Amino acid sequence: MRPDQSASYPEPSFPVAVAWGVDGQSVRLLDQTLLPEEERYLRLATIEEVAEAIRTLRVRGAPAIGIAAAMGLATVTRRHLSDAGPSVEPRDFVDRVHRDAEVLRGTRPTAVNLGWALDRLEQAFSLGLEQGIEAGVLAMVREAEAIASEDRDMCRLIGEAGAGLIPEEGCGILTHCNAGALATGGIGTALAPVYVAHARGIPVRLFADETRPLLQGARLTAWEAGKVGIPVTLITDGTAASVMAQGLANMVIVGADRVAANGDVANKIGTYGLALLARAHGIPFYVALPRSTFDLGSPTGLSIPIEERDPSEVTTLGGRALAPPGVSVKNPAFDRTPAHLVTAFITDGGILRPPFEPRIRDLLDHGSS
Ligand code: MRU
């Protein structure tokens, strides 16, 4: 039987990483640090709570971080306004919004979606302010909602574009970290093509790198893909080469935290190694992302800041020491993959193949590739 090309995906069965709180005064966030053991939702009502959630990876993945920051800033600002009432002092209020935005901006440096979403909110606020403070706040809430729903649509388009790269007879797909529903406002970026292909009846097998040190592949990708019925095989990061050598993985699809104007990719640490392995084994290396993850302000990968995280993430596991006390540790959260190792970008505007620089510019200028 031929796969049904029009088949969609069972969107309601995907976990929702971030949403508006039902009380209208908070953000509802799935605490990803507790997965897969516990599915607990948090109610975040202050800027400090939202910032802490982003910093500690309770919410993570570039698009989801942007959505959480946008909804967080809008919610907190709306509450400030209702607390202040008619006596609100416009100058103090505006200063406070910008201070709160800066707190969120400083939480994680690599994912460009964070600053991009906050810029959009601050711009919407400034424009709305021309009609008064209430209008400014309402404009922020609407902008946050637009960011979330655009991301949901972009994920679907990425899924449909990427599914076309998966052969009808099926294949093994290797992914790294988590670039699925948990990392976005929709069905994910790297996982979206897998979900759409699966819904079309194409037999896919997902190989999920566990992704040291925070194990997003083991804890999150294996969990969410398994939940919607994708056959998943969990592997240690060091197993990727032999899975390729044995012909079990026929392509790699990863997400991105930021892609520079020339196509260099910042993504979870270990991505660069996978790209080299894919090249050595002659298999395609795809990077899936919404247009909000391209950054023309970064000419090459070298301009992308790479977050360094606490050594304890490497030296301990579940409170137990894995290394001698005082050992020197390097713990970058991301690495840079040079554009020449990328076979194609899977975007909401279609598939981008080399030469990347003009095609990325064209996508961002004109809307599709
Ligand atoms: O540190 P994390 O878990 O936020 O890192 C996430 C990734 O590296 C993802 O691949 C990337 O953000 C894309 S998510 C659609």
More confident residue, 369 or 111: 111
Q: Does residue 295 have an active-site annotation?
A: no
DSSP code of residue 332: B
CA 328 to CA 334: how far, in whole Å? 19
d(CA 73, ligand 1 centre) in Å: 21
Tokens for 283, please give them. Answer: 């298999």
In the DSSP assignment, the letter for residue 16 is: P
Ligand 1 atom 6 nearest Cα: 61
- The structure tokens listed for 224 are 């969410």
Of 14, 107, 257, 348, the one to substitute when testing ligand 1's pocket (max ligand atoms within 8 A of C-beta) is: 257
Task: Please indicate whether residue 60, judged by its CB atom, sits closer than 6 Å to ligand 1.
Answer: yes
Q: What is the pLDDT of residues 3-51, one digit of tens each?
A: 566 666 666 678 899 999 999 899 999 999 999 999 999 999 999 999 9
**Ligand 1 pocket check for 63: Cβ under 6 Å:** yes
The span from the CA of 355 to the CA of 369, in Å, is 12
Q: What pLDDT score was predicted for residue 1? A: 46
Q: Is the CB of 268 under 6 A from ligand 1?
A: yes
**Mean residue pLDDT across the chain:** 95
pLDDT tens-digit readout, 238-258: 999 999 999 999 999 999 999
Tokens 């970064």 belong to 298
pLDDT tens for 136-185 read 999 999 999 999 999 999 999 999 999 999 999 999 999 999 999 999 99
Q: Is the pLDDT of residue 121 over 80?
A: yes
Whether residue 362 has pLDDT greater than 60: yes
Residues in the chain: 369
pLDDT digits (tens, 9 = 90+) for 266-275: 999 999 999 9
The pLDDT score that the predictor gives to residue 124 is 98
User: Which position among 100, 151, 209, 257 bears the catalytic label?
Assistant: 257
Bridge-based pairing state of the strands 258-260 and 265-268: antiparallel
- Ligand 1 mean position to 271 CA, how many Å? 11
Structure confidence at residue 318 (pLDDT): 86
Determine contact, residues 256/265, Cβ cutoff 8 Å.
Answer: yes
32 lines ligand 1 (CB under 6 A): no
**Surface-to-core class of residue 288, CB atoms within 10 Å of its CB (0-12 exposed, 13-18 middle, 19+ buried):** buried
